[in-house]
Amino acid sequence: MPGRRRRVAIKVVRAGLSAREFQVRFGAERLLAFFADLLIPATPFETPGGADRTLREVALDARQKIDDGKFGADPATESAIRFQLGNIFVGLGDLDEAERQCIAAAHLADAVPGDVPDQVGARMLLAHVLVERGDPAAAEAPAREAAALCGDADSGVTMEDRARAFAQLGHTLTELSNFSEAEPVLRVALDIAEGTGLSEKDVLAPTLQRLARLCSLTNRAAEAERLFRRALALNEANLPAGHMLIATTTANLAMSLHDQRRFAEAAPMLESAYDQLCAAVGESHNATISTLKNLAMCHLSLGENDKSLTLLEQVVRARRAAQGPASITLSSDLFSIATALHGKSQFAAAEQYYRETINVALAAGGPETLHAADPQHAFAFMLLSADRPADAEPISREALRVRLLRLGESHTKVAQSRNVLGGILIALDRQDEAEPLLAAAWPILRDGKDVNPVWRIDCVKRLLAIARYRNDEAALAQWTQQLEALSPKQR
């Protein structure tokens, strides 16, 4: 019963019995039913915040017993219990412990011949945890492996897990900005979920949200809003009031309104979602902190700068308390403060936060993490805007190096790094070095589907500046015509 083994609960560990001993004493069917009954009401999403502590104690106790070798040479049982522990630690917001349990569950499931459903489940959950930690690059391999394992018709993987695996892969690719591959994968997941009558709250609603997330990131906020509203209606119909998933879906819907510049509508929805999450899972939960961060950004969009910065500083304190001094999500929070200050032209304060962002990202993700390259790129752009091109150049070059290594020649982020570095070199009167960078960037920026129009204009203007510097009449005509070809809105 490989797929069903994931329902085994930690009661078996608390009782000090192996799964086989428990089955002999009570019977296999009773074992499964008993454990399912135990865990479903115990999830922290459906109980008052105080129950969270008890469940954490139970989970830590179970982890200790299983680490002590209580299950001996029974990899199937140990894999199932570690998988369930991973789920519990995700619910408790302890992503470090969840990751450890998922990795162990995957290795153990691989040791059981034919146990494809558990191999898929462990990899899906590991990918989910890594994305939640802000490291989709690390999540890509387990997400792809889970989807590939579902391909065999005789694998024993249920349609529910098939849909989940494709949805997780699509979500991971979305977070990697690989939108062209992510969207068809997510639509396959949605087709499976809609066409086979799968659980609305467990499969369909999460898949709708992941597709909505992609739409938000590809400048399709109205479509994202429609998908989020559908997911919210499903969750409200199938879950109790105050459930965590209702709150997170409300927050996601609010951000789709924010993306449409409907800030006054979004802010109260985010406040409501934050209050619900505080009541459901506590102030230190990852989802609660992320919602507070979105609320802060909404206040920034409303022009309430001081309130926004106060909330962002609260976010950073909460994240440090929950995840320690070096995490990818903390670097993202610091990056938000840096960009907020940058947008207010408070360059000195922004510089401090940019540097802290980069240091935290490097400590958490290593020297070749995109989580450092992205703030390096933004910091270099700010330094260029502040007429400090010599300071900007080494930072911009490092951002380009990492982006090129991790994303490849044709990615729009690589093109934008070349665009900004080209601008820096022009400011340093090094036009001969700038031109090949800008020439390589232009076709990608011109043809990219999700490129900010301002990037295109900046690139053309820089190439036009080089043509003027050289008195190159043919190039002047070419880039002047190209600039005029841009729509009035783009220019």
pLDDT tens for each residue of 316-340: 999 888 888 888 889 988 998 899 8
Q: Where in the chain is the domain with CATH 1.25.40.10?
A: 345-491
Which pair of tokens denotes residue 303? 């022009």
Amino acid of residue 93 = G
8 Å CB contact between 184 and 192: no
Residue 183 CB neighbour total at 10 angstroms: 17
DSSP 3-state assignment of 140? helix
**Cα–Cα nearest to 89, from 154, 149, 10:** 10
The CATH code of the domain at 345-491 is: 1.25.40.10
pLDDT reading at 355 higher than 90: yes
The 3-state secondary structure of 60-85, one letter per residue: HHHHHHHHCCCCCCCHHHHHHHHHHH
The number of angstroms, rounded, from the C-alpha of 41 to the middle of its chain's C-alpha atoms is: 28
Tell me the per-residue pLDDT of 153-184, one tens digit each, with 9 for 90 and over: 666 788 888 899 999 999 999 988 889 899 99
Contact residues for 382 (Cβ-Cβ < 8 A; gap 6+): 342, 347, 350, 351, 354
8 Å CB contact between 3 and 118: yes
8 Å CB contact between 168 and 146: yes
pLDDT reading at 38 higher than 70: no
8 Å CB contact between 166 and 141: no
Give the position of tokens 């401090």: 352
pLDDT reading at 44 higher than 80: no
Tell me the per-residue pLDDT of 81-140, one tens digit each, with 9 for 90 and over: 788 888 878 877 778 888 888 888 888 888 877 778 888 888 899 999 888 877 888 899
Per-residue confidence at 468, pLDDT binned at 50, 70, 90?
very high
Which pair of tokens denotes residue 354? 């940019």
The number of angstroms, rounded, from the C-alpha of 107 to the middle of its chain's C-alpha atoms is: 24
Residue 170 CB neighbour total at 10 angstroms: 29
Number of separate helices (H) and strands (E) present in the chain: 24, 0
